[in-house]
Amino acid sequence: MRLASSVCLVLFGALAAFAQTQDNTVSLDDLVFSAEQWAYDNLDEDLLRVLQPADRDKVKAALAQFQKQFHGEYVLDLAGLKDLARAVLPLLEQYEETFPYALWLKTRLDYLEVADQFRLIIPAPKAEPGRTPPPIPNPSPQKEREIWITKLKERSYPPSARPYVGQLKSVFVSERVPPELVWIAEVESSFDPRARSPAGAAGLFQLMPATAQRFGLRSSWPWDQRLKPEPSARAAAQYLSFLHGKFKDWRLALAAYNAGEGTVQDLLTRRKAHSYDAIARELPAETQMYVPKVEATLLRREGVRLAELRLK
């Protein structure tokens, strides 16, 4: 209990600091209040019931902020989440019920670290006198690819992948999808099928309930097939095959896998564009990180680039 109390104090400070960096008029109470409806709609109360009420409110507020910023416009805004993530992780890791959220968050710490790197190297735009400074622009897709290749070039083979890679590659091949794409599971869940996002995605490939059901999986407890490696891999492969058939490009397919096919199609239509790079800077912040991280992961694990992938 003493550990939970001390972590709670750190989390309180991190939330308050995050609120101040975003908007001087936003208080911790505002964050907690604004998180309540989102948490009611998305978070599994059965998983959070083990937390003390005060901790539960702060965890809800923190998870709501992660979701908000991951779906926000600006990559560099993710850098401000680092302290918040460090504060909330110990609370989530304490209990078996909340550990799936911890797994999801730990897998995304890379995004916060890379955003912090960009914050240091991208110059802030000049502010005009008497006007609010404009936001720092998003990095170019090429710069994203470069920084992710550098970040992952020394990353060792994840031990958690060993039981799965061979089996899941066979599933992808049977669905006529490049087997190298099984490494999406490293980016999504660090190859831990217990991972669960605050928005309700679950399993190795972080399938949302609607996507799972679309490809024939049950997603309700205790028969959630997203938590089973082979069924979830088959559904993920079928979805990737569909997305590639729709967009004819693996970068766009991955962007749609992360952000939703409607988001990608709307941007392509509005910009009269046909490539990922043409819309990348307008995609959600997480997606701008996700696509080049998948690319860099495939290069690190398989020595192949997305452009070299071939349907089987």
Active site residue ranges: 188
Question: What does the alpha-carbon distance between residue 8 and residue 32 come to, in Å, rounded to a whole number?
Answer: 14
Specify whether the CB–CB gap between 52 and 4 falls below 8 A. yes
The letter for the amino acid at 270 is R
Nearest to 223 by CA among 202, 239, 252: 202
Burial of residue 272, with CB atoms counted within 10 A of its CB: 0-12 exposed, 13-18 middle, 19 or more buried = exposed
Long-range contacts of 105-109 (CB under 8 A, 24+ apart): 105/66, 106/190, 107/187, 107/188, 107/189, 107/190, 107/195, 108/66, 108/70, 108/286, 109/82, 109/85
> Is 222 in a helix, a strand, or coil?
coil
